[in-house]
Amino acid sequence: MSPNETRKPANTQWGGRFTSGPSEVMERINASIGFDQRFFAQDISGSRAHARMLVEQGILSSEDGQAISDGLDTISREIEEGSFVFSAALEDIHMNVESRLRELVGDAAGRLHTARSRNDQVATDFRLWVRDEIDAVEIQLRGLQEALLDKAAAHADTIMPGFTHLQTAQPVTLGHHLLAYVEMFGRDRGRFADARARLNESPLGAGALAGTSFPIDRAATAAELGFDRPMANSLDAVSDRDFALEFLAATSIAMTHVSRFAEELVIWCSDGFRFVHLSDAYTTGSSMMPQKRNPDAAELSRAKTGRVFGALLGLLTVMKGLPLAYSKDMQEDKEPVFDAADSLALALAAITGMVSDMTADPENMRAAAGKGQPTATDLADWLVRAAGVPFRDAHAITGAVVSLAEERGVDLSTLSPADMQAIDPRISEDVFQVLSVEASVASRTSEGGTAPDNVRAAVDAARARYLGN
């Protein structure tokens, strides 16, 4: 039989208990091969480890063990080359692999499932897949941080408005703003690392739910698969999906950060701001309006967040009412995780690309930073420092000065000393040393502040903390 021919099982894989096959509807609702074939590599790795352990424990002959190993090598090559035919009638990746293995090596294939259930098999495969995905996400997040740090270093002195409520608040630097995202994505790396550490226990050997009477060595299979230890309770081993929920939770928070940054890019690229420019690589045009340059990569990255949130809520809903141990409901665990992982990977790639691609417009940023009386807080701080005014009083005095400036349609720095002294005689000409946006930014030297020297030092510290250089 050639690998391109569709294989049909001679009888249902459920065993002799059933005398007739499933209905077409049952086959369709029961089959998961359409999506769980994604972890074929993890399934084959788990089977290798299980077979080797069975041989070492004297449960499986060395001849059968070698035949199984050779057969799994062939199956792995066929899948990677695209010549393996997956059958929905065989339900899932486990039975598809086992059926092909039986074609290749005969009865030895049937002995592979000794002391193993699909329940502990799928739990093992899924943990291995999520663990691999976390390792891939770690690389992407690190790359995004590196891109942000490079851009922050280049713009340590580039002044822009800092906002609260999207209203001009105080001037900051673009480098300082980007460093905020370095910290957000650093926390994401920590969350994924924590999730990885918790999931790194092996369900293999838990059987269907109660363990097995065979003298297996669960510690050996756990070690071979890179797990820290076997899971302590067989019921928990087959029914736990906390690791998938944690992955989705960490992915949801990371996507929140992606979405926030994407939103900023959309705003910054708009005609009302023009803070940054994105090239043709990350923008599209309009079918009607030839002048348009739309930041679609940012908008689509922002939109992917909704899919990820939905995946988390969906799996939480599936799991919330399940009694121990395994229920078929749990087959619905994989598709949301796969979709969320794909969405995160694509969005991280897009955001990283846009960070490297974007070109800042310092003149527009500086002009915007001077609007809205952004140095009012500096005037209040000066009154506290230089004139000994209690801050609450200084706040009220500054409010009156701001009101006068707005009434005249000028900036604080263009009011005369006499104008200010008419409001409070303790204001001297020295106050003008702090009323420019440059002076305001330079004065924010407290730890974590926006002063350019701070930003440069923070970039170096973040490189050492997050990148190891």
As beta bridge partners, residue 359 has 277
Q: Which two tokens stand for residue 168?
A: 């001009």
Residue 202 · residue 231 · CB < 8 Å? yes
CA atoms within 13 A on the CB side of 32: 19
DSSP codes, 344-377: HHHHHHHHHHHHHH-EE-HHHHHHHHTSS-TTHH
CA atoms within 13 A on the CB side of 250: 26
- 């908008």: which residue's tokens? 299
**Amino acid (one-letter) located at 106:** G
Beta strands at 159-164 and 229-230: parallel, antiparallel or unpaired:
unpaired
First-to-last alpha carbon distance for the chain, in angstroms, is 56
Catalytic residue among 61, 270, 279, 286: 286
Residue 450 · residue 441 · CB < 8 Å? yes
CA atoms within 13 A on the CB side of 391: 3
**Which H or E run includes 171?**
strand 167-173
Rounded distance between C-alpha atoms, residue 293 and residue 280, angstroms:
8
99 belongs to the catalytic site: no
What's the distance, CA 353 to chain centroid? 16
Residue 362 · residue 341 · CB < 8 Å? no
443 belongs to the catalytic site: no
Residue 220 · residue 53 · CB < 8 Å? yes
Catalytic residue among 165, 213, 416, 446: 165
From the CB of residue 317, how many other CB atoms can be counted at a distance below 10 Å?
Answer: 11
The residues carrying an active-site annotation are 165, 286
